[in-house]
Homo-oligomer: A and B are copies of this chain.
Amino acid sequence: MPIRLAENRYGKSQVRLVTVARGTDRHELKDVTVDIRLTGDFEAAHRDGDNSRVYPTDSMKNSVYILARRHGIDAIEEFARRLARHLLERESAPSGIDVRVAERLWNRIPIGGGPHPHAFVAGAGERRTARVEASAAAERVEAGLEDLVVLKTTGSGFAGFPRDETTTLAETSDRILATAIDATWRYTAPVASYSATWQAVRGLLLETFAEHDSLSVQHTLWAMGERVLESVAEIAEISLRLPNRHHLRADLAPFGLDNPNLVFVATSEPYGVIEATLTRS
């Protein structure tokens, strides 16, 4: 029976490395995890077990460490770009490369009012991310962040939604809004500093979340994305994913107690999810 390969990709996941730049006065630390995918004409590899063009995933892993040694790691967007070009240059010539890098963030331990030169404490659970998709002809650079957990205790409501025979939810003008922001944004042009821009975008997302008078998660998502697009000209579009981590007001009436938004049951499941991409018209 005639069968063909419609789509395929392969690579190495969870390549973990830490690099140290050992300055005379202080050390710089980078803690990253790399995922690589290759695409190309691999029908013979699949159909016949012909490995003559299958660049091993083990060599991909080696390449990560080799490049980290040769060039160090500064902004992860630049490291991803370098790795993508390196892989495109292999003799086995893949047609496309997709590199993702996630960076764990560390802070210096404070000692006597100042930062320690070589001792670090992990930052919040969020990760800075970069993605580069590249071919011989084109390159697409994205940056982002994952799992930036935020919560506001007021300034959020949800009302005016359609009601039918499946509806039990009450309208509210004051609730807890809690989410774990996943965001990715695509650059149309190189920026002077990927790291400075990342910090700026992170700050805009946090500020907008805090200050926006939210009529829904969708409404806040738009405000966050709009703020970023208005502020950073090099960003063409931004995608946001906001799970709605429901905090239910505890029902204390059976115990003769009121609960004017003071005590909440934090829940893990089920949860709402709002996802959207905003782009310039």
Contacts and interface: CB of A to CB of B under 8 A. Distances in A.
Nearest to A211: B111
- Interface centre among A121, A207, A263, by most chain B C-beta atoms within 10 angstroms, is A263
Interface residues of A, number: 138
Q: State the oligomeric state as a number of copies.
A: 4
Nearest to A58: B169
Contacts of A167: 56, 58-59, 62
A103 to B, nearest CB: 12
Contacts of A9: 275-276
Contact of A18 (B111, B155, B266): B266
Contact of A279 (B6, B11, B22): B6
A206 B121 contact: yes
Interface string A145-189: 000111111110011111011111100000010000000000000
Interface of A: 1-22, 27, 29, 31, 37, 42, 45-59, 61-63, 65-66, 68-70, 72, 90-92, 106, 109-111, 116, 118-126, 148-155, 158-162, 164-169, 176, 206-207, 209-211, 214-219, 221-222, 225-226, 229-230, 237, 239, 243-244, 247, 250, 252, 254-255, 257, 259-281
